[in-house]
A and B are shown apart, each in its own frame.
Chain A
Amino acid sequence: MIQGVGITHVLIVSTLMFFIGIYGFLTRKNLITILIAIELILNSVAINFIVINKYLFPEKINGQIFSLFIIAVAAAEVAIAIAVVIDFYRINKSIDVEHGETMKY
C-alpha cells in the first residue's frame, strides 16, 4: 500500500491498460503487436486482482495467488501464440493478420 495513492488511482491505471489492450487488439494488423495487446489486457487484470486484494481484504492472499496464476498462464499462452505466429509466417510469408481470413463462409 503506497501512501497517498487511493484504490481509485490504481484502478484507473488498470482500466486504461485494459482498454489500451482492447484497442490494440482490435486495430493492429501485426500478430506480434496483437499478442502484446493481449499481454496488456492480462496484466491489467492481474493488477486489478492485487489491488483489490490489498485494499479491501488485506488479511487474505487469494488475489495475489490469482495474479501469479495469470502470469503462469500468460507465459504458457505466449509460448503457444509465438509458435502459432511462426507457423502462420511459414504458410503466409507474413505475420499480417489480414492473411488469416480464410476461415469464413
Chain B
Amino acid sequence: MDWSYTIWIPLLPFVGFLLLGFYGRKLPAPVPGWIGTIGVFGALVLSYITAYNYFFVENTDMLFEPIKGFEMLWMNFTDVLQFKMGVLLDPISVMMMVVVSTVSFLVHLYSIGYMKGDPGFGRFFVSLSLFTFAMLGLVVATNLFQIYFFWELVGVSSYLLIGFYYEKPSAILASKKAFIVTRFADFFFLIGILIISYYTQTFDFLTLNGMDETSFTSLSASSFMGMSVLAWALTLAFIGGAGKSAMFPLHIWLPDAMEGPTPVSALIHAATMVVAGVFLVARLFPMYSHVDGGAVLHIVAFVGAFSSLFAAIIALTQLDIKRVLAFSTMSQIGYMMLGLGVSGLEGHEGLGYTASMFHLFTHAFFKSLLFLGAGAIIHAVHSNYMTKMGGLRKYLPITHITFLIAALAISGIWPFAGFFSKDAILDAAYMHNKIYFWVGWFVAGLTAFYMFRLYYRIFWYEDRVYKHTPHEAPATMTYPLMILGALSLLAGFVFFYVWPFAEYIGPTGKPFHMHINWILAGISLGVALIGIVLATIMYKKKNDIPDKVSKAFGLFYKWTYDKFYFDEIYMFVTKKIMFGIISAGWTWFDTNIVDGTMNLIGNTTVKSSNAIKKLQSGRMQDYAYAIVSGAVALVIIFVYIWTH
C-alpha cells in the first residue's frame, strides 16, 4: 500500500495556517474560523482513513510492524549526521494522530462560537492551526531530530496562545513562565538527544528501538554514578518530557497556562501537547526498557506516581475551576507516566504501556470535554471562580449533562471511558509494585472527590440570582460537547470489548489479551464511589461541613490552597539565589563592563553631537561667513607657503 499521502495529515493544517497567516486577519469574523476548521477536517478524514487502513487492511495478521509512510532528507551534513523529516506509522502514532485531529477539529469548531466577537479572532485561528500542524508533525516523527523540531514548535504555539490576551499582564507572565519552564526542560532533552545520537550514530526511532540490551551495553561502556551514559541520556530526555507534561517539579507552568482562552486549555493543556512527554517515553519505550535493564523506568514511575498524588491533593482546594482541571490533568498524566514506568516489554508484561496509551486516548476526550464544558460555563457566567457559580443546571442543560458524563468518566465509574483505562493502569501497577497501586488507588478516590466537588459547586450547591441570566452556548459550541460526551461514554467500552485496545497497541506491536481484574477494579470503584458520596454530602447543598473540614486540616489546608508554595520557592531560587548570589559577579561584569563600554560609546556620540549641533544654525549668513573665512584662511596659508 502506498502510504505517501499521510504527509498531508500534518500539511493540511499547515496550509490552513499559511492561508490564515497571510490573508486571514483581514477577513470578517467567522471566515478564518471555517478555513482553519476545514484544514483540520481534512487532516481528520485522512487520519481516519490511515487508521482504518493500518489497523484493519494492512495488518490483518494483528502484528503491527512500523511503516515509514514517507521520509525525505532535509539537511545532509555528513554520512552520519543527516536530518530527516517523515511520517512513521505504528500503532501509537496512528492512535495519536486520530486523537489529535479529532480533538483539534472539535476545538476549532467550538472556538468559532467561543471566540465570536473577539478582536483577535483571525489571530487565534492562525495560532491554533500552527499548533495542530506542529502536534501532528510531532506524533508522526520518524527520528529524534524531527520530534525535537516539532516539540519546540508546539512550545511556541502554546506560548502564543497562552499569551493570546496580551493586554492582560497576567497572561503575558503566564506565557513567559510556560515558555521558560518548558524550554529549560527542553534543554535537558537536547543534551539527551545529543548523547544518544553520539553513541548510537543515529536519530532514527526504528533503529534505536530495534537494538537489544547487549548492543546498548557495548555502545556505552562508560558509566557515571551507577548508570550508563545512555541511561543518563534517557533520563535527560525524560526531564524534557516531564517539563512538557508538567510533571513534578516542573509543573508550575501548567496552572498559570490557564490564562489562555479556554478552547486552548482544552486542546493544548489537556488533550494533546501536555501528553507529548508521555508520547516521547512511549515512542522510545523499547530503548527505555533495554538500557540498563529499565533503570530509567523506575524514575518515570516514581515521578508519575508522585505527581499524580501531589496534583490531586492540590486540586482538592482550588477555587478557580480551570485550575482544578489543570491539576487534574497533571494528576492524570502522572497516571500515564506511572503506567509506562511499571510496564515491561513482552506479552502481558506490556500491560502498563498499553494501559498508559489507553488512558491517554480516553483522557484526551473526557478532559477536553471538561475544559470545553468549563468554557461554556465561563462563557455564561463570566467568571472562573466556583464561588460565583451554583445552581447552573437549570440554565445550561446540555453542558450539565456532558460535564456530568466527563466527571463520571474521569472518576472511573463503569462503563464510562476512564474506568477501563484507569483500571488497566492500576492493574499494571499492582503487578509491578503494590505501593504504586495503593498510591494510584488513593488518587482515584481523590479524583472522584474533587471532580464531584467541582460538579456540585457549579451545578448545584446554592441557587443564586445572576445579574445576566446565564444561557446555553450556541450550536457550534454544544455540538462538540455532545460528540465528546458520546466519546467519553463509549470510548472505553468499545475499545475494551469490541476492538480491544491491547490487541492493537502494545510495546512490541504483538497482541495480548487485556482483561479486568474485578477485585482490583472493585476496590478502585469503591474508593471512587466513596469520593463521590463524600462530595455529595459536602457540596450538594450549601452547608458548613466543608468549612469544618478545612478548619480541621488547618495549616495543611492552607499549604494545599497555596499549592505547597512551589511558585514562591522557584521565585526564591531564581531571583534570590541564582540572580542574587551565583550570577552576581557576571551581572556586575555585564552591567558595568559590557553595557558600560557600549554606553560610553553611545553617550560620547550623543554628547559630542549635542555640543556641535549648534553649528547648524539655519542662518545661511553663518554658513557664508564660515566659507569666506575658510577661503581667506586658505589664501593666507598658501601665500605663506609660497613666500617661504
Which of the residues A22, A26, A100 comes within 8 Å of B618, measured between beta carbons?
Answer: A100
Once the chains are docked, how many angstroms separate the CA of A105 from the CA of B610? 10
Q: Are B614 and A105 in contact (CB under 8 A)?
A: yes
Closest to B609 in A: A105
B605 to chain A, nearest CB (A): 15
Give chain A interface residues in 78-105, CB to chain B under 8 Å: 97-98, 100-105
Once the chains are docked, how many angstroms separate the CA of A12 from the CA of B333? 103
Give the interface SS of chain B, mostly helix, strand, loop or mixed: helix
Q: Are B624 and A103 in contact (CB under 8 A)?
A: no
B617 to chain A, nearest CB (A): 6
**A49 CB–B CB distance under 8 Å:** no
Once the chains are docked, how many angstroms separate the CA of A95 from the CA of B628? 24
- Chain B residues contacting A26 (CB-CB under 8 Å) are 621, 624-625, 628
Once the chains are docked, how many angstroms separate the CA of A71 from the CA of B620? 24
Q: Are B618 and A101 in contact (CB under 8 A)?
A: yes
Q: Are B620 and A100 in contact (CB under 8 A)?
A: yes
**B616 CB–A CB distance under 8 Å:** yes
Interface size class of B (residues with CB under 8 A): 10 to 19
Q: Are B613 and A105 in contact (CB under 8 A)?
A: yes
Q: Are A25 and B621 in contact (CB under 8 A)?
A: yes
Contact with B along A13-45 (1 / 0, CB 8 A): 000000000100111000000000000000000
- Chain A residues contacting B607 (CB-CB under 8 Å) are none
Q: Are A105 and B616 in contact (CB under 8 A)?
A: yes
- Chain B residues contacting A27 (CB-CB under 8 Å) are 621
- Chain A residues contacting B621 (CB-CB under 8 Å) are 25-27, 97
Q: Are A101 and B617 in contact (CB under 8 A)?
A: yes
- Chain A residues contacting B628 (CB-CB under 8 Å) are 22, 26
Once the chains are docked, how many angstroms separate the CA of A100 from the CA of B622? 12
- Chain B residues contacting A101 (CB-CB under 8 Å) are 617-619
- Chain B residues contacting A102 (CB-CB under 8 Å) are 618
Closest to B622 in A: A26
Closest to B625 in A: A26
Give chain A interface residues in 42-72, CB to chain B under 8 Å: none
- Chain A residues contacting B617 (CB-CB under 8 Å) are 101, 104
Closest to A34 in B: B621
Which of the residues A25, A104, A105 comes within 8 Å of B624, measured between beta carbons?
Answer: A25
Q: Are B625 and A103 in contact (CB under 8 A)?
A: no
B564 to chain A, nearest CB (A): 61
* Supplied contacts A97-B620, A102-B618, A104-B617, 20 more A-B pairs, CB within 8 Å: A22-B628, A25-B624, A26-B621, A26-B624, A26-B625, A26-B628, A27-B621, A97-B619, A97-B621, A98-B619, A100-B618, A100-B619, A100-B620, A101-B618, A101-B619, A104-B616, A104-B618, A105-B613, A105-B614, A105-B616
